[in-house]
Amino acid sequence: MAESGLKSSTVSANDYDEAQEYFYAQGMTDGLPIVPPTAERVVAMVEASGRNANDSLGQVHPAVAEATIEKVAVNAVMAGCLPEYMPVVAAAVEAMVEERFYLYAIQTTTNSAGVGIVVNGPVRHAIGMNCDSGCLGPGNRANASIGRAIRFVLLNIGGAVHGEVDKATQGFPGKFTLCFAENEEASPWEPLHVERGFSPNESCVTVIAPNATLNCTAGDRVIVEHGLAALAATMTAPAITQFSLFHGEPMVVLNPVHAQVLAEAGWSKADLKRYFHEHTRLPGELLSSVARSRRETRPDQIIDGMYPMVQSPDHWMITVAGGRGGLHSTFMPSFGEPQSITKPIHL
Amino acid sequence: MTLSTKFFQGLAIASAKGRGMSSLPQVILPWPYDTLEDSTVREIAYRALDEVVRALVVPNKGVVEVSINSD
């Protein structure tokens, strides 16, 4: 791509179908068709990043390859991103290469885990993200393609070739794409990025390591009385995987109605974190010896033989997203040791 | 050197390559273990130990696969 100023090698294809087959043959897709990363499209993506093509966002494991803006842009084009999504993709890459995120483990584990992305701040509306009804499902280009771009970065830069390096026993559909925006306007509490020290007017991305999205149903008006217990019970048993290690950070995505009813009853985010921490314990006999021994390093957290899911209430993340249909909130258990990372988006 | 099971050999190679050590000697253990008796696993471990030491002291040892059976 010398004429464009890009460094990537080029291949020629006679038509769209031939280009698709090339990318399939190279193992560079997620199994779905891609947008051919022509020089023109990649240049537009690089320019939208506001950075130089050669700038590195960090090294992506296990290939330990530099995630340059140009390489990330190629993958963002392939995923179907519009150029205006590129700053979000770049910030997500910067976040996930931080050591505390343990990307090597996420990329190579037999666990189902993938990389999930939560977007906060004004950029959500500026690029038309969905934080409302169906925000964890299909239908929104920004949500879908930003998450998919991250998957391509993990595959094509990080080297997570299915079966060879990515050793997931089964995987989960969120590994295709898992990106949503928090519904800050409908939340009674401060959004995730503000909780982490950023200004409400800043745009931020948070990377998490979920291995499932679990629907938790509870009636809106009864949630304060016994719905929280139902949510906690729903979370606990399927989250055995969360118990396998001790440092993960599960996320609860409350729908706006659940959040509003809880807030009106006086619940804060901190209260909810403490509640979920205390009410999602399991008896030691259900845990592996490794899971037990890790928790026994914190005997203060073991109560009457009941072991906590994570180290402390602060390891729980509470967000608000979705529509006002009510009833349904979501629990995302996380994998192993990764700690979520929040980064500002450079617009 | 790198020690891995057959299941993770591709990952071991990719990890070594990523760190600029493509020619790192490898000792590859059989897989899966779940179906093996404890005594068999111990026997494999003893034989693997010999291979690990060889890989560390003999140049260009390449890839050595430790089999389940010694004969």
| Residue A237 confidence (pLDDT) above 70 | no
Using a CB-CB cut-off of 8 Å, the residues of chain B touching A165 are 10-11, 14
**Do the bridges between strand A306-307 and strand A282-283 make them parallel or antiparallel, or are there none, so unpaired?**
antiparallel
| Tens-digit pLDDT profile for residues A92-141 | 999 999 999 999 999 999 999 999 999 999 999 999 999 999 999 999 99
Burial of A282 (0-12, 13-18, 19+ CB in 10 A): buried
Kind plus residue range of the DSSP H or E element containing A71:
helix A69-79
> What's phi and psi for A8, nearest 5 deg?
-65, 150
Token pair in block for residue A193: 């990025």
CA A347 vs. chain centroid, Å, equals: 20
The verdict on a CB contact (< 8 Å) between A161 and B19 is no
3-state secondary structure of A331: strand
Query: CB neighbours of A84 closer than 8 A, spacing ≥ 6?
Result: A48, A126, A127
Angle at B15 between CA B10 and CA B18, to 5 degrees: 125
The ipTM, to two decimals, is 0.82
Residues of A with CB under 8 A from a CB of B: 61-65, 104, 108, 159, 161, 163-165, 167
Cβ-nearest to B18 among A64, A164, A167:
A64
Rounded Cα gap, residues A229 and A218, in angstroms: 9
Distance from CA of B53 to the nearest CA of A (A): 26
Kindly list the residues from chain B whose CB atom is less than 8 angstroms away from the CB atom of residue A63.
14, 17-18
Q: Given an 8 Å threshold on Cβ–Cβ distance, is B19 in contact with A64?
A: yes
Query: Given pLDDT bands bounded at 50, 70 and 90, which one contains residue A225?
Result: low
Interface with chain A: mutation pick from B6, B11, B22, B34, highest number of A CBs within 10 Å: B11
pLDDT at A2 over 60: no
Chain A interface includes B59 (CB < 8 A): no
Q: Spell out which residues of chain B touch residue A65, defining contact as CB-CB under 8 Å.
A: 18
Which pLDDT tens digit goes with each residue over A154-164? 999 999 999 99
pLDDT at residue A275, as a whole number: 94
pTM: 0.93
What's the average model confidence in pLDDT over A31-60? Answer: 97
Would you list the domain boundaries of chain B? 2-65
**pLDDT tens column, A72-90:** 999 999 999 999 999 999 9
| pLDDT computed for residue B65 by the predictor | 87
What does pLDDT average to over chain A?
Answer: 92
